């Protein structure tokens, strides 16, 4: 059967990076199991188990990366014994005959499966944190570039007071900064299950060391050190608590909401023709409508963000039904949800990097929309200017109200342009301020402190948040597979 005759997840086959796919690959999983068995043997030998020979250690060290043939052999063995770990113990033992008798010594299956999962989760965070840093950095450059460009603000997707394009983008960046904080916190909180035995009591290891509790504790610590971790969970059942998975997936789920919101804003702005995601020279928007420039990247972000957000519930539900020291109904779902979450987060960040590197702005469209709405927003300025000339506020308000309704009728009922300012210019009542009208309508006077807020936020908050990640920042183009 050809590979094209079998279903493969689009997460790995279509969208995700090679690096993230490799973290959760079968070869990396089974090679990591071998690394765990090797380090367990090294620590056990250091602590006095003479049954483990230097030759056995060397043999295991020489065969850490599992071959295609060994994966196939382990798969065939699993079909017989119905146990994946024992199938790989058997296969590793055949490859390393001098170590066959001591591989997995004192351990339970979760020594390799759980510890390996924790290694993968940390490695996966190490891949997505730099991508998030670069999304933030590129959006920050964009925000500074457009910190002074007035745009129509929207509340309830109805015209509201003006803001600037840069200030709007800071709203995305602020949420991404919170996501970065959460990613780093979750990554650094990941420890190892360590060497705990069948039900977490370390009974098998206590037997190996003839009741020496200090050596058992030293073994747990040493294996943790050999695997490059600072933290080992002090108590476990057979598995590490599945609540850890909640803590790991929660930041990803929260990030999904950020990504969805940002991509939705860009999709709406594309409809308004104010801003677009990158559109490549030979890109086709529609098979039938050749003129279309669909926001397909942002649509992909929204689609996959919904998937990522939903995976959090897998972790919550799984953690809540773990009976006593363990039950196996966590296994199958975790094989799906944990890799899926990180593959999806990786795809979202790669796509956001691509989008943020090539956003297209149309200032003339933005200016035209402001001109169509600004006259209504300027009425308060007109009222105050008239009062300064000695008019009654109530009388001015009434005149403005009448003219505003007339202008609104032209826009809504006749499809015409907003002619409120022309009506004011042609009304002798407003003659005292006719010379001021153009200055009263200058868009930059309606944006408040948006430019200053943007500059301060990027130069202070963003700069300090990204300072620990300077080595990750780059301007590399991100090309999407599709």
What residues are annotated to the active site? 156, 286
The DSSP 8-state label assigned to residue 158 in this structure reads: E
Q: Using an 8 Å Cβ cutoff, are 117 and 338 in contact?
A: yes
H or E stretch covering 345: helix 331-356
Residues in Cβ contact with 263 at an 8 Å cutoff, skipping those fewer than 6 apart:
295, 297, 298, 299, 301, 302, 305, 352, 355
B/e letters for 378-393, b = 16+ CB within 10 Å, e = fewer, are: bbebbbebbeeeebee
**How far is CA 115 from each of CA 66, 225, 238, 279, rounded to the nearest angstrom?**
18, 13, 12, 44
Q: Which two tokens stand for residue 457?
A: 């936020």
CA separation for the pair 116, 31 (Å, rounded):
10
Residues in Cβ contact with 429 at an 8 Å cutoff, skipping those fewer than 6 apart:
399
Environment class of residue 204 by beta-carbon count within 10 Å: exposed (0-12), middle (13-18) or buried (19+)? middle
Environment class of residue 394 by beta-carbon count within 10 Å: exposed (0-12), middle (13-18) or buried (19+)? exposed
Q: Using an 8 Å Cβ cutoff, are 424 and 437 in contact?
A: yes
Q: What is the residue-wise DSSP string for 348-413?
A: HHHHHHHHHTS-EE-HHHHHHHHHHHHHHHTHHHHHHHHHHTT--HHHHHHHHHHHHHHHHHHHHH
Q: Using an 8 Å Cβ cutoff, are 85 and 33 in contact?
A: yes
């Amino acid at each position: 059967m050809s590979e094209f005759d079998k279903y493969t997840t689009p997460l790995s086959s279509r969208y995700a990076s090679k690096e993230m796919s490799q973290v959760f690959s079968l070869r990396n999983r089974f090679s990591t199991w071998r690394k765990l068995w090797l380090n367990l043997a090294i620590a056990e030998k250091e602590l006095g188990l003479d049954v483990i020979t230097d030759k056995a250690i060397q043999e295991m060290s020489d065969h850490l990366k599992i071959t295609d043939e060994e994966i196939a052999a382990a798969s065939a063995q699993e079909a017989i014994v119905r146990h994946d770990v024992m199938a790989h113990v058997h296969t590793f033992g055949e490859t390393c005959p001098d170590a066959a008798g001591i591989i997995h010594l004192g351990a339970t299956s979760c020594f390799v499966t759980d510890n390996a999962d924790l290694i993968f989760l940390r490695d996966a965070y190490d891949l997505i944190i730099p991508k998030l840093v670069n999304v933030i950095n590129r959006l920050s450059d964009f925000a500074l570039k457009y910190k002074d460009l007035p745009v129509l603000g929207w509340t309830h997707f109805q015209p509201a007071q003006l803001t600037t394009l840069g200030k709007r983008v800071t709203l995305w960046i602020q949420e991404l900064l919170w996501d970065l904080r959460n990613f780093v916190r979750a990554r650094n909180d990941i420890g190892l299950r360590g060497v705990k035995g069948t039900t977490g009591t370390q009974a098998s290891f206590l037997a190996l060391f003839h009741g020496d509790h200090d050596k058992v504790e030293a073994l747990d610590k040493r294996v943790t050190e050999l695997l490059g971790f600072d933290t080992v969970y002090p108590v476990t059942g057979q598995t590490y608590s599945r609540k850890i998975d909640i803590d790991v997936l929660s930041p990803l789920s929260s990030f999904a909401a950020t990504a969805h919101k940002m991509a939705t804003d860009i999709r709406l702005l594309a409809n308004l023709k104010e801003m677009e995601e990158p559109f490549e020279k030979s890109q086709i928007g529609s098979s039938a409508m050749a003129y279309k420039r669909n926001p397909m990247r942002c649509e992909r972000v929204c689609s996959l963000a919904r998937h990522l957000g939903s995976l959090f519930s897998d972790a919550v539900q799984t953690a809540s039904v773990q009976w006593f020291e363990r039950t196996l109904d966590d296994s199958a779902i975790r094989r799906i949800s944990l890799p899926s979450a990180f593959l999806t987060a990786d795809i979202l960040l790669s796509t956001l990097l691509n989008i943020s590197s090539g956003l297209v702005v149309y200032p003339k469209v933005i200016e035209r929309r402001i001109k169509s709405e600004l006259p209504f927003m300027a009425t308060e300025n007109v009222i105050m200017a008239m009062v300064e000339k000695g008019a009654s506020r109530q009388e001015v308000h009434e005149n403005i109200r009448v003219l505003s309704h007339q202008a609104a009728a032209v826009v809504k009922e006749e499809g015409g342009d907003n002619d409120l300012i022309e009506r004011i210019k042609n009304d002798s009542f407003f003659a005292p301020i006719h010379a001021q009208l153009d200055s009263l309508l200058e868009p930059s006077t309606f944006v408040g402190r948006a430019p200053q807020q943007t500059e301060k936020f990027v130069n202070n908050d963003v700069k300090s948040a990204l300072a620990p990640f300077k080595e990750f920042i780059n301007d590399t183009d991100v090309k999407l597979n599709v």
